[in-house]
Amino acid sequence: MKPINVGLLGIGTVGGGTFSVLSRNEAEITRRAGRPIRITKVADKNLELARQVTAGRAEVTDDAFALVADPDIDIVVELIGGYGVARELVMQAIANGKHVVTANKALLAVHGNEIFSAAHEKGVMVAFEAAVAGGIPIVKAVREGLTANRIQWIAGIINGTTNFILSEMRDKGLSFDVVLKEAQRLGYAEADPTFDIEGVDAAHKITILSALAFGIPMQFDKAHIEGISQLDPDDIKYAEQLGYRIKLLGITRRRQMNGKAGVELRVHPTLIPTRRLIANVEGAMNAVLVQGDAVGATLYYGKGAGAEPTASAVIADLVDVTRMHTADPEHRVPHLAFQPGAVEDTPILPLAEVETSYYLRLRVEDKPGVLADITRILADQEISIDAMIQREPEEGESQTDIIMLTHLTHEKNVDAAIAKIEALPVVKKQVIRLRMEELG
């Protein structure tokens, strides 16, 4: 049978891994796909690197737009990244009637609605398994494997850099800055780690999962995003003492508020009970927990980045597209799980309406009546305390830490309580507030 011809945009880490794995496992992949899949053309600005990786087995060019216009190319694989030229190339490939495979979570989270609409009109596929959690097949699981379920929530460790940093901070008691430098030395963190450590990368991914789970448009601009750069090792230590671990989670949840449907979409450091499997995901690994009404909780674990794990997802998409290449477009699996006409306009809930439990750390003067004043304020905001630690002051100190865990309450109630607590003369620093999730 005639091979499927693939054009590869970008032959860096993931592109090189894709070329290598596709070549190494060619016979097995052909058996699964039903026909050969071959990268016949590669576009990259670094022609020397492209020639070195391809070793004469593919045509090499530095003109990406010529590649997406090539009539012999059936599928374009976009591994350039970013919002700019990648968007232009993907849209041009679709306009030229070519299927697209991409690992670009930023592009999809920001411009996915436009891209999927164009692909639907043109009758081509856009596949993006590698855009979320690297080699973990979470997109296929949500879009197809759990299709019988009404998804209730998804919570995921979906950024390996931040998970490595938090694991090291907990294990070694080191500060964020020290561990970040070590992560950069080991290659887990980029020279500019902002997207990772400030939660933006995780927000791109949870935006995609939210759209898949709930049949809503991509709404990255409405996600609440907090990173880990301000996280204090003391809070990691206190969380451990209380039976919790802190992870940077992407969370999306279907909610009913005053009889109307809404969706939570948030990324932030989160306390998780240590007895939960996801709390014990360490190092640079990823894990995604999905709660469905029929199946209950399912956990997906594996490498969320790297050349060959991500290449595994890229090639899985190539096989899927190859299998469906000649299928009636109206009977393919929809890009975002739901048929385009069934996408809902369910709003993203403002953070003030999020309901969860909270970890609060207060630096206070060690004197009688302080705790009574604080608990009174919490009670006035209908916030009840689940557990508490009051640390004994060091010798010669006049201040101490009080750590409280609350029961479920709304974010707006906690905001109001914190404002009043910080106004007390006996409270000496800003209140540290972290959210908690039982995930069970």
Q: Would you place residue 172 in the very low, low, confident or very high pLDDT band (cuts 50, 70, 90)?
A: very high
Beta-carbon contacts of residue 282 (< 8 Å; ≥ 6 apart): 163, 167
Instruction: Give residue 259's pLDDT.
Output: 79
Instruction: Give residue 135's pLDDT.
Output: 93
2 is catalytic: no
Please state whether beta strands 385-390 and 296-303 pair in parallel, antiparallel, or not at all (unpaired).
unpaired
Average pLDDT over residues 405-421: 98
Task: Encode pLDDT of 324-377 as tens digits.
Answer: 886 777 778 888 888 888 889 899 999 999 999 999 999 999 999 999 999 999
Task: Encode pLDDT of 66-114 as tens digits.
Answer: 999 999 999 999 999 999 999 999 999 999 999 999 999 999 999 999 9
In this structure, how many other beta carbons lie within 10 angstroms of the beta carbon of residue 416?
Answer: 16
Give the C-alpha distances (Å, rounded to integers) separating 376 from 47, 370, 380, 385, 421.
Answer: 68, 10, 6, 11, 10
Long-range contacts of 339-347 (CB under 8 A, 24+ apart): 340/116, 340/117, 340/120, 342/215, 343/215, 343/216, 343/217, 344/214, 344/215, 344/216, 344/261, 345/216, 345/217, 346/214, 346/216, 346/261, 346/262, 346/263, 347/262, 347/263
Give the C-alpha distances (Å, rounded to integers) separating 228 from 70, 396, 406.
Answer: 44, 32, 21
Task: Encode pLDDT of 25-52 as tens digits.
Answer: 999 999 999 999 999 999 999 999 999 9
Instruction: Give residue 341's pLDDT.
Output: 86
Q: Domains in the chain, please, with CATH? A: 4-135+308-342 (3.40.50.720), 138-302 (3.30.360.10), 353-436 (3.30.70.260)
Average pLDDT over residues 374-397: 91
Q: What is the mean pLDDT of the chain?
A: 95
Catalytic residue among 41, 98, 205, 303: 205
